[in-house]
Amino acid sequence: MSFWQRMAEINLLVWISGAFIFHGLLYFLLGTPNWLSVTLMATLVWAFGLLIIRAIGRALIRQKT
């Protein structure tokens, strides 16, 4: 299974939830005063990145068939 096939099949909800939890813990433990808003912004960036990668993967798979 290639990278693009794996990316086309990922469960976005699980990955975005994991990124949110990780960023929340990171910024909370670092003592960031507004850790929740920073966590939301960082998670949003990762979510858009994953959406783009997933769309590219699906397009490449569709193109091969």
pTM higher than 0.85: no
Distance CA 5, CA 62 (A): 10
Cβ neighbours around 21 below 10 Å, total: 12
C-beta separation of 42 from 22 below 8 A: no
pLDDT tens track for 7-19 = 888 888 999 999 9
How many whole angstroms from its chain centre is CA 28? 20
Quick check: 21 and 9 in contact, CB under 8 A?
Answer: no
Q: How far is CA 15 from CA 2, 10, 63, in A?
A: 19, 8, 25
- What pLDDT is stored for residue 1 in this prediction? 67
